[in-house]
């Protein structure tokens, strides 16, 4: 079992600013789990099309176009697991 606390992630390379959102990576491929788990915060008032082209993704809030009227907090699981603190390209991928 992997136990990680949010306080352990804040301010480290596993907390990645992505413009109008913030991604906190709780589990990445280097942990050997075969998936990664991310908490994603969309900033209030922001809209963005998001598409994951290189991974299968399960998201607790299931919408293809998100518009956050208040801060939106998401927990995401990716397969294959992310292995680095990469940033999305101009297509959101």
pTM above 0.85, yes or no: no
Domains of the chain (ranges; CATH) run 8-79 (2.60.120.10)
pLDDT, tens digit, 9 for 90 and up, residues 42-59: 888 877 777 778 888 877
Q: How many CB atoms lie within 10 A of CB 41?
A: 16
**Cα separations (Å) of 14 from 44, 76, 86?**
22, 14, 10
* pLDDT single digits (tens) 12-44: 999 999 888 899 999 998 888 888 899 988 888
């Amino acid at each position: 079992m992997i136990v990680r606390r949010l306080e352990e992630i804040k301010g480290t390379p596993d907390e990645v600013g992505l413009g109008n959102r913030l991604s906190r990576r709780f589990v990445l491929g280097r942990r050997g789990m075969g998936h990664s788990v991310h908490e994603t915060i969309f900033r209030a008032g922001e809209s963005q099309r998001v598409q994951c082209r290189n991974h299968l993704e399960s998201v607790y809030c299931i919408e293809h176009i998100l518009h956050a009227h208040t801060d939106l907090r998401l927990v995401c699981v990716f397969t294959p697991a992310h292995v680095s603190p990469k940033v999305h390209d101009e297509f959101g991928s």
